[in-house]
């Protein structure tokens, strides 16, 4: 009896809650696997999917978003054996998701509040999601570096378009399969593999993007992102790659504030 040939895994992009082939049909080889090489069209499709899901995700209660993030952590734990990363990095990624799951119902009392004014008015501020956030994941660590930026984006009620690590895209693509069992609604998280230098400028310059979180540690690319984002007044946060759980949660509030808008309202009282 001849020895059977193993069926190699075929990776795909994750856009709008579905696994799709790159529009270009191009692939790169990584660790013996074919990795889809995303195109400009794939970036536009991912932003559209994130935009279409934005209002529904933002409208969910903070408690429900926390449940989804916690379920995300559970699902990641259950698929631990499938990931091409060290167990310590995986554990830090899971713990980071749990940490930000606890932040969802804390944002309003921490960032919002009643503002004192010297007039017969009531002024109060409420935190709201920024909208669609583009995330540039670092090359290393590929999973924790992505999760540490993605978790606060989701906790604050935003949707995300993520460009994965250039050198190690497999953990990010494996994360897409976790999304399928994690109760994360389709379109809320979109994951693209490919050449960062090709995809990042298209993402940063997209008119429907509201913010960019750049953890690529590429200074030249960061300057180009700043230039493109300035044309549409898109918020940009540059961050060094997160290498451990403590780093991922130490500045949790600043990560959340970077993808949150404050809506201030005035109401006449006593008039």
Q: Based on the number of CB atoms within 10 Å of its own CB, is 95 exposed (0-12), middle (13-18) or buried (19 or more)?
A: middle
Domain over 13-268 is classified CATH 3.40.605.10: yes
pLDDT tens sequence across 14-72: 999 999 999 999 999 888 889 999 999 999 999 999 999 999 999 999 999 999 999 99
Query: What CA–CA distance (Å, rounded) separates 135 from 200?
Result: 9
Whether this prediction's pTM lies above 0.75 is answered by yes
Ranges 118-122, 149-153, 168-172, 196-200: which has the least confidence? 118-122
How confident is the model at residue 261, as a pLDDT?
94
Q: How much is the average pLDDT of 266-271?
A: 69
How many whole angstroms separate alpha carbon 70 and alpha carbon 66?
A: 6
* Sequence ranges of the domains in the chain: 13-268
The confidence score (pLDDT) of residue 230 equals 93
pLDDT digits 0-9 by tens, 117-162: 877 788 888 899 999 999 999 999 999 999 999 999 999 999 999 9
Helix axis angle, 170-179 relative to 62-78, nearest 10°? 120
pLDDT of 72: 97
pLDDT at 271 over 70: no
């Amino acid at each position: 009896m001849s020895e059977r040939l193993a069926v190699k895994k075929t990776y795909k992009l994750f856009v709008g809650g579905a696994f799709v082939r790159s529009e270009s049909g191009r692939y790169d080889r990584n660790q013996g696997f074919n990795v889809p090489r995303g195109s400009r069209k794939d970036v536009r499709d991912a932003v559209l999917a994130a935009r279409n899901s934005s209002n529904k995700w933002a409208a969910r209660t903070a408690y429900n978003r926390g449940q989804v993030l916690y379920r995300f952590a559970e699902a990641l734990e259950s698929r631990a054996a499938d990931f091409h990363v060290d167990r310590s990095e995986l554990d830090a990624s899971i713990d980071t998701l749990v940490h930000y799951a606890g932040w969802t119902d804390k944002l309003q009392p921490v960032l919002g509040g009643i503002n004192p004014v010297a007039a017969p008015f009531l002024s109060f501020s409420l935190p709201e999601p920024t909208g669609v956030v583009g995330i540039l994941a670092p090359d290393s660590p590929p999973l924790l570096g992505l999760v540490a930026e993605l978790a606060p984006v989701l906790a604050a009620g935003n949707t995300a378009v993520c460009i994965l690590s250039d050198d190690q895209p497999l953990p990010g693509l494996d994360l897409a399969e976790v999304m399928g069992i994690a109760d994360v609604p389709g379109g809320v998280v979109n994951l693209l593999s490919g050449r960062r230098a090709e995809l990042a400028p298209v993402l940063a310059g997209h008119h429907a993007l509201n913010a960019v979180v750049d953890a690529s540690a590429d200074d030249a690319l960061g300057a180009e992102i700043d230039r493109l984002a300035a044309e549409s007044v898109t918020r940009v946060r540059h961050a060094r790659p997160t290498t451990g759980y403590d780093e991922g949660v130490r500045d949790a509030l600043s990560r959340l504030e970077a993808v949150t808008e404050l809506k201030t309202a005035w109401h006449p009282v006593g008039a």
